[in-house]
Amino acid sequence: MRTLKVLHKSTRRRYSTTAILGKRLFSDEFDENDEQEGTKHQPIPVSPDVQVLGERSFNGSCSSMVNTADNLYNTKLSLGTSSSGKENLPPKRITHPSKWLSSPYDHNERGPLQQHEIELHRGIVALSKVEPHRSKVVVLIDKTSLFLGQLGDSFGVSGHVEAYVFNVFCRMLFRENHPRRSKTHYFFTTLGDYFLENWKSEEGRREMKRKTLRSFNGAGKALPLHESDRIFFPSVHDEHWFLFVVDIIARKFVFLDSYYEGNTPFHIRIRDLMINSFIKTWEDSNLRGMSFRKFGVEYPNMPKQIGSDACGIFALNWMQTWASRNPMQRQFTMNDVANARVRFAIDILFSIHNTEDQGKILVKNFAW
């Protein structure tokens, strides 16, 4: 039978009287009747075979494990280092839009046109055809302006979108969702012209280069270009609009076109020209190296337009909605163009960022 040793009542520790929070559970006072082998004043003898080299706090151990886990995760994904810029893997999902409308959260579905929208659009188009209204500035976002004639001609029934509309639209997108939130930059059409070498003289080339470098520098003040996810360059060639997108996250140069495929002479002539011009401009701006020479080239299979006047509408829509890593984004087709003309015209004119109120009043009075 095993005999249990019972301590005298007077020698028992009163553990319950020792505060738990912020103090040690056991006192350091030595008790002769206590069989513990070490205390503060009488430590346990150290074995000559064991040497304590150091100790780490609990917080330090947790931080070390977290850092180790992050390093192992990043190494497995081959994400590279911050010194070389964003070196992420290509998209894990397809870059083409879904065949079906799969998610209600990936686009701005506003439903069918309302009667007041139709009336306002009719007023914009009608007033844009007569003077003096046609020459009146009706949109002013920051320092970018638009005449009523340009607005009405671009979004009429078969209108061809003008470059000034794209420039105003870029400023509107900037104001609606700042690059620090959207991680996206939108540049004026003059940069696309520069990449395509659309100048008529050496003096013109130098002037376009100066404006392009100034645009890169100005955009970098809102968000450094190397920290953005995507950079959009609406471009026109042979009177046809398309989007040149530098997708830094996907490490691809993406061409979004509503008419021409990537293997057609149209894109064969301009692809390398635009890419090389962009890289040269990036280097001339002394921006962080991003290994652009290693980027791939992508031509997503986008829905095609019918006729020759809808390319600008497709490009405006893609600037607003396209995301390379989202396979559930809604397809924008030729059936949506008519309604889009109405919505784009109204959204630009009645934007809260448009500080020119006289144009809004003029169209409202005409419509109602």
How many Cβ atoms are within 10 Å of 346's Cβ, its own excluded?
19
Residue 25 in domain = no
Cβ-based neighbour number of residue 277 at 10 Å: 19
Sign of dihedral through CA atoms 304, 310, 311, 314?
A: negative
Contact 247, 326 (CB under 8 A): no
Considering its fold, how many domains does the chain have in total?
1
The secondary structure of residue 21, as a DSSP letter, is T
Residue 57 and residue 291 in contact, taking contact as beta carbons nearer than 8 Å:
no
Please state, in angstroms and rounded to a whole number, the distance separating the CA atoms of residues 363 and 368.
9
Q: For residue 24, what are its two tokens?
A: 């040690």
What CATH number has the domain bearing residue 104? 3.40.395.10
**What is the spatial distance between Cα 272 and Cα 109, in angstroms, rounded to a whole number?**
36
Domain-embedded: residue 297: yes
* Rounded Cα–Cα distance for residues 324 and 214 (Å): 28
Range of the domain at 131: 95-367
Distance CA 158, CA 7 (A): 101
Ordered alpha helix ranges (H), 53-114: 58-77
pTM of the model: 0.70
Evaluate whether residue 145 is within a structural domain.
Answer: yes
Residue-by-residue pLDDT tens, the chain, 368 positions? 555 554 444 444 444 444 444 545 445 555 555 555 566 666 666 566 666 666 778 888 888 888 888 777 666 544 433 334 444 444 444 455 554 444 444 445 677 889 999 999 999 999 999 999 999 999 999 999 999 999 999 999 989 999 999 999 999 999 999 999 999 999 999 999 999 999 999 999 999 999 999 999 999 999 999 999 999 999 999 999 999 999 999 899 999 999 999 999 999 999 999 999 999 999 999 999 999 999 999 998 888 999 889 999 999 999 998 876 655 567 788 999 999 999 999 999 999 999 999 999 999 998 77
Asked, for residue 194, whether it belongs to a domain, the answer is: yes
